[in-house]
Amino acid sequence: MAQVSVTINGRKHDIACDDGQEAHLVRLAAYVDKRIGELVAAVGQVGDSRLLVMASLLVADELSDAYAELDSLKSAESGGAAALHEIEESLAGSIESLAERIETIAEKLKQP
């Protein structure tokens, strides 16, 4: 099991991950840090826990939108099954990425 050091909101966090997933985890942390930075710019430093909850909700909202788009595409008439399959694969990848981001945030909330 590998361990990665990431910085979110100016604080360093050591996070364990599967071997080979280090770069992916660093990208996810950078995304979370960016979202936290946007929140800090909007609402100020309201505490790590509150910021992480707010960021989690934002990412969950993005995931919800992706699911809604996928459902919409499935129910709409499509020009071809192959095109729909490509779109589904693309959305599935996005959903998986968002789910991993949420899991990363949850791990950070568990850490002291």
pLDDT tens digits, one per residue of 10-30: 999 999 999 999 999 999 999
Residue 9 φ then ψ, to 5°: 55, 40
pLDDT tens digits, one per residue of 37-69: 999 999 888 988 898 899 989 889 988 999 998
Residue 23 φ then ψ, to 5°: -65, -40
Q: Give yes or no for a contact between 56 and 37, defined as CB atoms under 8 angstroms apart.
A: no
What is the domain count for the chain? 1
Q: Give Cα 1 distance to the centre of its chain.
A: 21
Q: Provide the residue range defining the domain that includes 39.
A: 2-110
CA distances to 13, 22, 99 from 62, rounded to whole Å, are 24, 23, 10
Question: Which of 96, 95, 22, 9 is closest to 53 using CA atoms?
Answer: 9
Intra-chain end-to-end CA distance of the chain, in Å: 20
pTM value > 0.75? no
